[in-house]
Chains A and B, each alone.
Chain A
Protein backbone atom coordinates (compact mmCIF):
# COMPACT_ATOMS: atom_id res chain seq x y z
CA UNK A 1 0.00 0.00 0.00
CA UNK A 2 1.48 3.32 -1.03
CA UNK A 3 2.20 5.80 1.73
CA UNK A 4 1.42 9.48 1.94
CA UNK A 5 3.07 11.37 -0.87
CA UNK A 6 3.93 15.04 -0.92
CA UNK A 7 5.03 17.15 -3.84
CA UNK A 8 7.29 18.85 -4.39
CA UNK A 9 9.89 17.67 -1.90
CA UNK A 10 11.88 20.89 -2.04
CA UNK A 11 10.97 24.45 -2.95
CA UNK A 12 12.87 27.69 -3.00
CA UNK A 13 10.86 30.89 -3.23
CA UNK A 14 11.46 34.57 -2.61
CA UNK A 15 9.61 36.86 -0.25
CA UNK A 16 6.24 38.01 -1.52
CA UNK A 17 5.66 35.00 -3.77
CA UNK A 18 3.03 32.39 -3.18
CA UNK A 19 3.37 28.62 -3.07
CA UNK A 20 1.11 25.58 -3.35
CA UNK A 21 1.99 22.25 -1.76
CA UNK A 22 0.25 18.99 -2.55
CA UNK A 23 -0.51 15.91 -0.49
CA UNK A 24 -1.93 12.57 -1.60
CA UNK A 25 -3.18 10.49 1.32
CA UNK A 26 -3.06 6.74 1.73
CA UNK A 27 -5.83 5.09 -0.27
CA UNK A 28 -9.00 4.93 1.80
CA UNK A 29 -7.97 7.70 4.20
CA UNK A 30 -10.36 10.63 4.18
CA UNK A 31 -8.72 12.75 6.86
CA UNK A 32 -5.74 14.93 5.96
CA UNK A 33 -3.87 17.21 8.33
CA UNK A 34 -1.04 19.64 7.75
CA UNK A 35 1.74 20.61 10.15
CA UNK A 36 4.59 23.10 10.02
CA UNK A 37 7.91 22.06 11.54
CA UNK A 38 10.60 24.59 12.40
CA UNK A 39 13.62 24.35 14.72
CA UNK A 40 12.27 27.13 16.92
CA UNK A 41 8.58 26.27 17.16
CA UNK A 42 8.64 22.52 16.69
CA UNK A 43 5.60 20.86 15.16
CA UNK A 44 2.59 23.13 14.83
CA UNK A 45 -0.82 22.16 13.53
CA UNK A 46 -2.05 24.05 10.48
CA UNK A 47 -5.34 22.48 9.32
CA UNK A 48 -7.39 19.33 9.28
CA UNK A 49 -9.69 18.27 6.46
CA UNK A 50 -12.22 15.52 6.27
CA UNK A 51 -14.47 14.86 3.29
CA UNK A 52 -13.55 18.19 1.68
CA UNK A 53 -14.45 20.17 4.82
CA UNK A 54 -12.01 21.98 7.05
CA UNK A 55 -12.67 20.71 10.55
CA UNK A 56 -9.95 22.52 12.44
CA UNK A 57 -7.48 25.29 11.88
CA UNK A 58 -4.39 26.15 13.85
CA UNK A 59 -3.22 29.55 14.92
CA UNK A 60 -1.75 30.77 11.64
CA UNK A 61 -2.44 33.94 9.68
CA UNK A 62 -4.88 34.01 6.81
CA UNK A 63 -2.01 33.77 4.33
CA UNK A 64 -2.12 30.05 5.02
CA UNK A 65 -5.03 28.28 3.38
CA UNK A 66 -5.88 24.81 2.25
CA UNK A 67 -8.45 22.64 0.58
CA UNK A 68 -9.33 19.03 0.03
CA UNK A 69 -10.66 17.47 -3.13
CA UNK A 70 -13.24 14.76 -3.60
CA UNK A 71 -10.50 12.13 -3.99
CA UNK A 72 -9.12 13.22 -0.56
CA UNK A 73 -6.02 14.80 -2.04
CA UNK A 74 -5.20 18.06 -0.34
CA UNK A 75 -3.34 21.24 -1.15
CA UNK A 76 -2.13 24.04 1.03
CA UNK A 77 -1.29 27.50 -0.18
CA UNK A 78 0.83 30.19 1.38
CA UNK A 79 0.55 33.66 -0.10
CA UNK A 80 2.87 36.62 0.32
CA UNK A 81 5.69 34.49 1.62
CA UNK A 82 7.82 35.70 4.50
CA UNK A 83 11.26 34.56 5.58
CA UNK A 84 9.71 32.97 8.66
CA UNK A 85 7.65 30.64 6.50
CA UNK A 86 10.77 28.63 5.77
CA UNK A 87 9.99 25.23 7.25
CA UNK A 88 9.28 21.59 6.65
CA UNK A 89 5.58 21.18 5.86
CA UNK A 90 4.23 17.77 6.77
CA UNK A 91 1.01 16.19 5.66
CA UNK A 92 -0.63 13.30 7.48
CA UNK A 93 -3.58 11.11 6.61
CA UNK A 94 -5.68 8.79 8.71
CA UNK A 95 -8.96 7.11 9.38
CA UNK A 96 -11.41 8.06 12.08
CA UNK A 97 -11.63 4.45 13.21
CA UNK A 98 -8.24 4.16 14.88
CA UNK A 99 -6.93 7.67 15.56
CA UNK A 100 -3.57 6.98 13.91
CA UNK A 101 -1.99 9.40 11.51
CA UNK A 102 0.52 8.51 8.82
CA UNK A 103 2.95 11.17 7.71
CA UNK A 104 4.45 11.96 4.37
CA UNK A 105 8.13 12.87 3.87
CA UNK A 106 7.35 16.57 3.89
CA UNK A 107 8.02 19.53 1.62
CA UNK A 108 11.04 21.62 2.54
CA UNK A 109 10.23 25.26 1.77
CA UNK A 110 13.00 27.83 1.78
CA UNK A 111 12.06 31.49 1.47
CA UNK A 112 14.88 33.82 0.41
Chain B
Protein backbone atom coordinates (compact mmCIF):
# COMPACT_ATOMS: atom_id res chain seq x y z
CA UNK B 1 0.00 0.00 0.00
CA UNK B 2 0.89 3.66 -0.08
CA UNK B 3 3.30 5.00 2.50
CA UNK B 4 4.96 8.30 3.36
CA UNK B 5 8.21 8.90 5.19
CA UNK B 6 9.08 12.28 6.63
CA UNK B 7 12.38 13.43 8.05
CA UNK B 8 12.84 13.01 11.75
CA UNK B 9 12.09 16.06 13.83
CA UNK B 10 11.74 18.33 15.61
CA UNK B 11 13.34 21.11 13.61
CA UNK B 12 14.42 24.30 15.36
CA UNK B 13 15.48 27.33 13.32
CA UNK B 14 16.14 31.00 13.77
CA UNK B 15 13.96 33.51 11.99
CA UNK B 16 14.93 34.05 8.32
CA UNK B 17 16.71 30.68 8.11
CA UNK B 18 16.17 28.30 5.19
CA UNK B 19 13.83 25.38 5.77
CA UNK B 20 13.78 21.93 4.20
CA UNK B 21 11.54 19.11 5.39
CA UNK B 22 12.11 15.89 3.50
CA UNK B 23 9.28 13.67 2.35
CA UNK B 24 9.50 10.49 0.30
CA UNK B 25 6.66 8.24 -0.70
CA UNK B 26 5.81 4.80 -1.98
CA UNK B 27 2.76 4.55 -4.17
CA UNK B 28 1.24 2.87 -7.16
CA UNK B 29 1.14 5.20 -10.11
CA UNK B 30 1.49 8.94 -9.73
CA UNK B 31 -0.88 10.18 -7.08
CA UNK B 32 -1.38 13.79 -6.04
CA UNK B 33 0.84 14.86 -3.17
CA UNK B 34 -0.01 17.24 -0.34
CA UNK B 35 1.57 19.17 2.48
CA UNK B 36 -0.68 19.98 5.41
CA UNK B 37 0.15 22.28 8.32
CA UNK B 38 -1.26 22.15 11.84
CA UNK B 39 -0.90 25.22 14.01
CA UNK B 40 -1.11 24.80 17.79
CA UNK B 41 -4.61 23.91 18.93
CA UNK B 42 -6.02 23.71 15.42
CA UNK B 43 -6.95 21.17 12.78
CA UNK B 44 -5.00 20.55 9.58
CA UNK B 45 -4.86 23.07 6.78
CA UNK B 46 -3.85 22.24 3.23
CA UNK B 47 -0.62 24.16 2.64
CA UNK B 48 0.11 23.16 -0.95
CA UNK B 49 -0.33 20.35 -3.42
CA UNK B 50 0.99 18.94 -6.67
CA UNK B 51 -1.06 16.77 -8.96
CA UNK B 52 1.51 15.40 -11.39
CA UNK B 53 5.22 14.80 -11.82
CA UNK B 54 7.42 17.92 -11.99
CA UNK B 55 4.58 20.08 -10.68
CA UNK B 56 5.60 22.67 -8.12
CA UNK B 57 3.11 23.53 -5.43
CA UNK B 58 3.52 26.83 -3.62
CA UNK B 59 1.77 28.86 -0.94
CA UNK B 60 2.75 31.41 1.73
CA UNK B 61 6.39 31.27 0.61
CA UNK B 62 6.54 27.48 0.86
CA UNK B 63 7.32 25.34 -2.17
CA UNK B 64 7.49 21.63 -2.97
CA UNK B 65 8.28 19.90 -6.26
CA UNK B 66 6.85 16.52 -7.21
CA UNK B 67 9.91 14.41 -8.19
CA UNK B 68 8.89 11.03 -9.56
CA UNK B 69 12.50 9.95 -10.16
CA UNK B 70 13.32 10.18 -6.47
CA UNK B 71 9.70 9.70 -5.25
CA UNK B 72 10.09 12.83 -3.18
CA UNK B 73 8.08 15.94 -2.33
CA UNK B 74 10.38 17.99 -0.08
CA UNK B 75 8.99 21.15 1.51
CA UNK B 76 11.14 24.30 1.36
CA UNK B 77 10.95 27.91 2.45
CA UNK B 78 13.66 30.43 1.91
CA UNK B 79 13.11 32.54 5.03
CA UNK B 80 11.02 31.21 7.90
CA UNK B 81 9.12 33.36 10.36
CA UNK B 82 8.12 32.76 13.96
CA UNK B 83 4.53 32.39 12.73
CA UNK B 84 5.59 29.32 10.70
CA UNK B 85 6.03 27.35 13.92
CA UNK B 86 3.69 24.40 13.49
CA UNK B 87 3.58 20.70 12.64
CA UNK B 88 3.94 19.82 8.96
CA UNK B 89 2.54 16.65 7.40
CA UNK B 90 3.24 15.16 4.01
CA UNK B 91 0.31 13.16 2.67
CA UNK B 92 -0.97 11.25 -0.34
CA UNK B 93 -4.34 9.82 -1.27
CA UNK B 94 -4.78 6.18 -2.18
CA UNK B 95 -6.72 6.82 -5.33
CA UNK B 96 -9.23 4.38 -6.72
CA UNK B 97 -12.24 3.90 -4.46
CA UNK B 98 -10.36 4.79 -1.28
CA UNK B 99 -10.76 8.46 -1.99
CA UNK B 100 -10.90 9.79 1.56
CA UNK B 101 -8.17 7.70 3.10
CA UNK B 102 -5.17 9.98 3.19
CA UNK B 103 -1.88 8.44 4.24
CA UNK B 104 0.17 10.84 6.38
CA UNK B 105 3.79 11.02 7.30
CA UNK B 106 4.61 11.12 10.98
CA UNK B 107 4.72 14.91 11.06
CA UNK B 108 7.61 17.30 11.59
CA UNK B 109 7.47 19.82 14.41
CA UNK B 110 8.98 23.15 13.36
CA UNK B 111 9.90 25.76 15.94
CA UNK B 112 11.19 29.13 14.77
CA UNK B 113 12.92 31.43 17.27
CA UNK B 114 13.17 35.21 16.87
Contact = CB atoms under 8 A, between A and B. Distances in A.
Interface of A: 4, 6, 31-33, 35, 42-43, 45, 48-50, 55-56, 58, 90, 92, 94, 96, 99-106
B17 interface: no
A104 B102 CA distance: 15
Contacts of A48: 98-101
Contacts of B103: 45
Nearest to A31: B100
27 contacts: A31-B100, A33-B101, A33-B102, A35-B102, A42-B104, A42-B106, A45-B101, A45-B103, A50-B99, A55-B97, A56-B97, A56-B100, A90-B44, A92-B100, A92-B102, A94-B100, A96-B99, A99-B51, A99-B99, A100-B46, A100-B49, A101-B102, A102-B46, A103-B44, A103-B45, A104-B43, A106-B42
Interface of B: 32, 34, 36, 42-46, 49, 51, 89, 93, 97-104, 106-107
Contact of A33 (B43, B46, B100): B100
Nearest to A105: B43
Contacts of B102: 33, 35, 43, 45, 92, 101
B104 A50 contact: no
Given A43-B107, A100-B49, A56 B101 contact: yes
Contact of A50 (B34, B93, B100): B100
A73 to B, nearest CB: 15
Contacts of B98: 48, 55-56
Contacts of A50: 99-100
Which of B49, B51, B101 has the most CB atoms of chain A within a 10 A radius of its CB? B101
Given A31-B99, A42-B104, A99-B51, 5 more contacts: A55-B97, A56-B101, A101-B46, A101-B100, A103-B36
B84 to A, nearest CB: 19
